[in-house]
Structure 1
Amino acid sequence: MANFSGADVQSLREQLGTGMVETKRALEEAGGDVDSAVEILRRAGFTTGNVDKGDMITLYPGHSSQQQQEQAARKIGEEVTSQLLRQAASGANLMALGPLKELARDIVARLPLAQNPWSDIVGPCYTSGALQRELGITRAAVSRAVGENRLLRVTTSDGVNLYPAFQVHAGAVVPGLGRVLRALSGGTNSTWTWAQWLNATIMDENGDPLPRNIERLISGHVDDVVRDAQHDAAVWAA
Structure 2
Amino acid sequence: MATKVRRDVCPVRDRAEYKAALMDALATGVDSLVAEDAPGLGDDPRAVAARMIAAVPRAHVYDDLVGPFYGTDAVRRMLGGVSRQAVHDRASRRTLLQVRTSDGVSLYPAFQFEGDGVSPRVRRVLSAFRDVPVDGWAVATWFSVPAVDLDGLTPRDWLGDLHRDDAMVLALAQRAAIRWAAP
CA distance in 1, matches of 2:176, 2:147: 18
- Match of 1:157, as an amino acid? S
Structure 1 counterpart SS, 2:176: helix
Tell me if structure 2 keeps the 8 A contact 1:175–1:217.
Answer: no
CA distance in 1, matches of 2:64, 2:172: 22
CA distance in 2, matches of 1:191, 1:203: 19
**Alignment TM-score, normalising by the size of structure 1:** 0.48
* Cα shift at 1:132: 1.6
- Match of 2:66, as an amino acid? V
Q: Which residue of 2 aligns with 1:212?
A: 154
Larger Rg: 1
Aligned-pair Cα RMSD in Å: 2.9
Alignment of 1:54-203 (within 5 A): 54-55=54-55, 56-60=57-61, 118-139=62-83, 140-200=85-145, 202=146
Tell me if structure 1 keeps the 8 A contact 2:67–2:110.
Answer: yes
Residue 187 to residue 143, structure 1, CA distance change in 2 (3 Å)? closer
Deviations 1:11-31 (CA, angstroms, capped at 9, x unpaired): 52xx8xxxxxxx5xx7xxxxx
CA distance in 1, matches of 2:157, 2:119: 9
* Cα shift at 1:142: 1.6
Deviations 1:140-175 (CA, angstroms, capped at 9, x unpaired): 332221122100111100011111111112332111
Structure 2 counterpart SS, 1:58: coil
Deviations 1:186-237 (CA, angstroms, capped at 9, x unpaired): 544211010011123x286xxxx83321222233433221111011222233
Which of 169, 172, 178 is the matching residue for 1:228? Answer: 172
- Unaligned stretches of 5+ residues in structure 2: 13-50
- Unaligned stretches of 5+ residues in structure 1: 1-9, 16-22, 27-32, 36-50, 61-117
4+ runs of 1 displaced by more than 6 Å?
Answer: none
What is the count of residue pairs matched by the alignment? 135
Which of 11, 30, 36 is the matching residue for 1:34? Answer: 11
Deviations 1:114-151 (CA, angstroms, capped at 9, x unpaired): xxxx2311111111111122231412332221122100
